[in-house]
Amino acid sequence: MSFTESQEHRDLRAAVAALGKRYGRDYVTEVVREGRYPDELWAEAGALGYLGVNLPEEYGGGGRGITELAVVLEELGAAGCPLLMMVVSPAICGSVIARFGTEAQKRKWLPGIAAGTYRMAFGITEPEAGSNSHRITTTARREGDGWVLNGRKVFISGVDIADATLIVGRTEDERTGKLKPCLFVVERDAPGFLKAAIPMELAAPEKQFELTFDQVRLPADALVGDEDAGLLQLFAGLNPERVMTAAFALGMARHALARAVDYARTRTVWREPIGAHQAVAHPLAESHVEIELARLMMLKAAHLYDAGDDMGAGEAANMAKFAAADAAVRAVDRAVHTLGGNGLASEYGLASLLTAVRVARIAPVSREMILNYVSHTTLGLPKSY
Ligand SMILES: Cc1cc2nc3c(=O)[nH]c(=O)nc-3n(C[C@H](O)[C@H](O)[C@H](O)COP(=O)(O)OP(=O)(O)OC[C@H]3O[C@@H](n4cnc5c(N)ncnc54)[C@H](O)[C@@H]3O)c2cc1C
């Protein structure tokens, strides 16, 4: 067990941090104001191999793991440029296709996902099912060689900038009549695939969409993996999702904390800089402790996942996401407070993180559902639902 990062990881961190610094918070603020996506940053990160660092080398990736992809996202976030689509396209969709796709599917989708030239969104949440994804009703029925998909999804991020969306649906088992979870790639222009942007109070470049599938015809190879192994395949994507959401949150937390510390070192309204007052310093110090603790759990979860321990990674990834989201929400709140009035001033670009960081508490699974998971799975307590 080593708590020291390898030289390779330190080099990756430094290189990504340098890229993020060239763009910075002001770039993201401007992009959001213009209502567009940070395509320049995404393209450059893709060309440098950062977006596909976790994907197999034979399909254009870097041959490393979720550990390295989390380093990339954390460092971009720490530079003020968190890219939520990294959680979705290379981490969830890339991992699922790399592990369960056919050879043809891997050749078709992974090189583009790795290079960032092909983006894939991910949709599981449904309006009626909410946190209870066992209740999803989006259903694919066989027709000829292919499938026909019907249903609805909600809050799906980045569908407007994605070339396709990986949809968690169900198939009908003709023998038993039971529904089984399955993953389908739906290309953006598929007839009957309707998207409506949801107005959100979020200052982030990724928009959320309500999706309707109205008799969407899919070819046979739209089904990723095995029709009968749905849940297992799904979990292969959900562990990376939780690790990466932790990285997304911790990047923003580090950015906010660094900005607050900078400010507290120099802002002087009495004799000493405000950072000399313990009422200002202690909350920042506490945030540093919380961020470091959450980071340790994130690295443990990423390490377990990369080592092939899906079960062990499940518990650690949930706990990492929980700890990182809480640490990040507190860090951003404290940072904004440290800047006083400037904390809410557009010029400082910090207040926009107040809503952005809360996403990590709600999605992909809320903090209450993680506490439920730990209560039932780890502690063996009975269920109320
Ligand atoms: C910005 C953003 C981006 C998103 N992007 C995506 C995406 O790309 N793809 C995707 O599939 N989804 C996405 N989501 C959806 C997200 O995963 C869901 O919002 C989340 O899973 C919660 O579901 P819900 O909103 O239906 O809340 P609900 O399930 O209605 O829950 C509402 C509240 O009740 C609590 N609650 C519910 N059941 C219990 C219980 N048994 N015990 C205790 N508390 C409970 C929850 O914790 C929550 O606080 C996104 C959401 C947001 C806000």
Q: Which atom of ligand 1 is nearest the CA belonging to 88?
A: 8
Closest CA to 211 of 248, 257, 167: 167
Residue 196: predicted pLDDT? 98
Question: Distance, CA 74 to ligand 1 centroid (Å)?
Answer: 23
pLDDT digits (tens, 9 = 90+) for 349-373: 999 999 999 999 999 999 999 999 9
Per-residue pLDDT, 237: 83
The per-residue pLDDT for 230 is: 65
Could you list the pLDDT tens digit for every one of the 385 residues in the chain?
A: 788 999 999 999 999 999 999 999 999 999 999 999 999 999 999 999 999 999 999 999 999 999 999 999 999 999 999 999 999 999 999 999 999 999 999 999 999 999 999 999 999 999 999 999 888 999 999 999 999 999 999 999 999 999 999 999 998 765 665 667 899 999 999 999 999 999 999 999 999 999 999 999 999 999 998 877 667 777 778 999 999 999 999 999 999 999 999 999 999 999 999 999 999 999 999 999 999 999 999 999 999 999 999 889 999 999 999 999 999 999 999 999 999 999 999 999 999 999 999 999 999 999 999 999 999 999 999 998 8
Q: How many whole angstroms from 37 Cα to the centroid of ligand 1? A: 24
Mutate to test the pocket of ligand 1, among 84, 125, 202, 355 (most ligand atoms within 8 A of CB): 125
The reply to whether ligand 1 has any atom less than 6 angstroms from the CB of 366 is: yes
125 alpha carbon – ligand 1 mean position (Å): 8
Model pLDDT, residue 176: 65
Q: What are phi and psi of 106, to 5 degrees?
A: -60, -45
Q: Are 253 and 287 contacting, i.e. CB atoms less than 8 angstroms apart?
A: yes
The pLDDT of residue 171 = 87
CA of 367 to the centre of ligand 1 (A): 10
Mutation probe of ligand 1 site: the residue of 353, 362, 383 with most atoms within 8 A of C-beta = 362
How does pLDDT run across 296-351, given as a tens digit for each residue? 999 999 999 999 998 899 999 999 999 999 999 999 999 999 999 999 999 999 99
Q: Which two tokens stand for residue 264?
A: 């507290």
Measured from the CA of 372, which atom of ligand 1 is nearest? 42
Is any atom of ligand 1 closer than 6 Å to the C-beta of 37? Answer: no
